[in-house]
Amino acid sequence: MDVNQAIRTRRSVGKVAEEMPDRALIEKILEAARWAPNHHMTQPWKYTVLTGSARNRLGDVLAEIKAESMTEEEQMNASHQLEQARQKPLRAPVIIAAAVNPSLDPRVEEIEEICAVAAGVQNALLTAHALGLGAIWRTGKQTYSPKMKRFFGLSERETLLGFLYIGHPAALPRERPRLPIADKVTWLET
């Protein structure tokens, strides 16, 4: 697939089949992420792939985080909400957690490290699309919880940036309108 076609036709695919994609395809996605641009070549990315019952363990953490935001009384009446949180990771057969491990080099700006991982995520999303897989980058408040950091064994300096849910597309989303580029660009010429 031509890169411009991939960029223009890639969509966030939130509904994927339960069928597990071939491991070789997931490895191609991870390999593409590794080629993201990165200032000072610190390669700050850290990916964790969850399949099978590892997704259930992630669901338990999501339910714990959800419960933390509720009063005891709310928790007593929230079994359905907590179960919904627990089931979220089961929406896709493969989840890739993307984290940044910023360099200690004083020349390196942390925002550049975060941008490098985000560029890697975009490479991964485009590659998944080119391989015929559906993917969506999911984030949210629970992503940044200390419990989530502990679950993934991240150090205090490391930050979880989100989750790529990947599988064979069950439904293709419609194209959503984009603002004209002229609305978002200023040219400074002289």
What's the CATH number where 21 sits?
A: 3.40.109.10
**Would you write out the chain's pLDDT as a tens digit for each of its 190 residues?**
889 999 998 999 999 999 999 999 999 999 999 999 999 999 999 999 999 999 999 999 999 999 988 887 787 788 888 899 999 999 999 999 999 999 999 999 999 999 999 999 999 999 999 999 999 999 999 999 999 999 999 999 999 999 999 999 998 888 889 999 999 999 999 8
Determine whether 134 is exposed, middle or buried from the number of CB atoms within 10 Å of its CB (0-12, 13-18, 19+).
buried
How many domains are there within the chain? 1
Whether residue 188 is contained in a domain is answered as no
Range 77-101 burial, b when 16+ CB lie within 10 A, else e: ebeeebeebbebbebbbbbbbbbbb
What local confidence, expressed as pLDDT, does residue 76 receive? 77
Whether residue 111 is contained in a domain is answered as yes
In which domain, by residue range, is 9 found? 3-183
Whether residue 189 is contained in a domain is answered as no
